[in-house]
Amino acid sequence: MTESSPTVWGVGTTRTLRAHWALAEAGVAYETKPIQSRSGETQTDGYAALNPKQKIPFLEHGDVKISESYAIVDYVFEVFGGDRVYRPATSAERAASNEWCSTILMELDAHTLYVMRRHGDLKDLYGAAPAAIDAAKEYFTKLADAMVMKLPAGPTCLLSEKISVADILLMSCLDWAVLYQVPVPEAYGDYRKRMSERPAYQQAFDFNFEVLGVTHKDLPR
């Protein structure tokens, strides 16, 4: 499979950032289709035939077609990551990784940040719900606080000296929170700074958010 170059559809969201960042960390040359969410570009007959979910990001690599950001990052790291990235090798390591990824995806992404997006940015479609947004912000901070104890103490990534799938998921959610002006616990400061200094992160962030006129330097750390 690795003899062909993957193609990624999607730019402009923190979820599409995950795909571009993973490929940058793995050092993979790839093609990009810079379509955007809620622009009509995901609703075309051609894209709907490729990805019936009509969501971004979407990755195609030969016969492999993946339409969820977590699955894309995991696939890229497994196929292309080599010794550049961290991959769990034992049951205990997989459990630790799965715990991080599950909490990030379900609690931070789906149950808090996307609630804010749904009833804030997309209120014309889903309806304004200020109380739901306020509750989501409070819950984000509460869950982020609860996870602080699992942060590494030294200059490392979450699970190793090498970057993992969990790092890409967590940092993208922390950036998402900052973009939405949601308080991020101070304990994440050193971690966010370390992640933001990674060349692959900076490259992917600036490419992904160029359409919005935002660079990695614009986010407070």
List pLDDT tens digits, range 168-220: 999 999 999 999 999 999 999 999 999 999 999 999 999 999 999 999 999 98
User: Is the pLDDT score of 1 beyond 80?
Assistant: no
Instruction: Tell the CATH topology of 7-84.
Output: Glutaredoxin (3.40.30)
Residue 113's pLDDT is 97
What's the DSSP call for residue 40?
S
**Domain locations along the chain:** 7-84, 91-197
User: Is the pLDDT score of 160 beyond 80?
Assistant: yes
Nearest to 101 by CA among 172, 170, 148, 185: 170
Q: What are phi and psi of 129, to 5 degrees?
A: -150, 75
Instruction: State the Rg of the chain over Cα.
Output: 17
Say what percent of the chain tops pLDDT 90: 90
- Sort strands 7-9 and 31-33 into parallel, antiparallel or unpaired: parallel
Instruction: Tell the CATH topology of 91-197.
Output: Glutathione S-transferase Yfyf (Class Pi); Chain A, domain 2 (1.20.1050)
The DSSP secondary structure of 65-112, one letter per residue, reads: EE--HHHHHHHHHHHH-GGGB----SHHHHHHHHHHHHIIIIIIIIII
Residue 173 · residue 108 · CB < 8 Å: yes
List pLDDT tens digits, range 84-133: 999 999 999 999 999 999 999 999 999 999 999 999 999 998 999 999 99
**Separation CA 187–CA 180 (nearest Å):** 19
Residue 206 · residue 196 · CB < 8 Å: no
169's CB contacts (< 8 A; 6+ apart) are 18, 69, 70, 73, 100, 101, 104, 105, 109
25's CB contacts (< 8 A; 6+ apart) are 77, 81, 84, 85, 163, 168, 198, 200
pTM over 0.85: yes
Angle between helical axes of 199-209 and 189-196 (0-180°, round to 10)? 80
